Amino acid sequence: MSSDITNGQNRQSRRSRPAAKAAKPKDGREKITLLVSKETNVKLSTLAALKGVDRSTLADSILTEALRGVVISLRGALAAEGGAGEGGAETADPEAA
């Protein structure tokens, strides 16, 4: 063996390197995890293949359509502080109430 190896100069560090962060999609999507039944998984995969899209795109369109009527409204301290939501009380849609 060479003297470099015995001196430890070529020895790799035993510290683990931090895991690389996953690339965030540039189109504003977020990665989530869902547990579905085997039957639902097969149906989702099959329909995605028939439509020529990936399963994520298909699932997103199905969920978007299913949640179309859902409205999130903040009341109380959070709404008064303007800490969350899309605008204040003066911009609220009167028909949404």
pLDDT tens, residue by residue, 14-44: 777 777 776 666 788 899 999 999 999 999 9
| Average of per-residue pLDDT values in the chain | 79
* 53 vs 85, more confident: 53
The domain total for the chain is 1
Phi, psi of 29 (to 5 degrees): -85, 160
- The domain in which residue 69 lies consists of 35-83
* 96 vs 73, more confident: 73
| pLDDT winner (highest mean) among 8-12, 37-41, 90-94 | 37-41
Phi, psi of 84 (to 5 degrees): -155, 170
Is 59 contained in some domain? yes
3-state secondary structure of 41: helix
Is 77 contained in some domain? yes
Is 62 contained in some domain? yes
Q: Compute CA distances 31 → 24, 42, 43, 58, whole Å.
A: 8, 21, 21, 14
Is 60 contained in some domain? yes
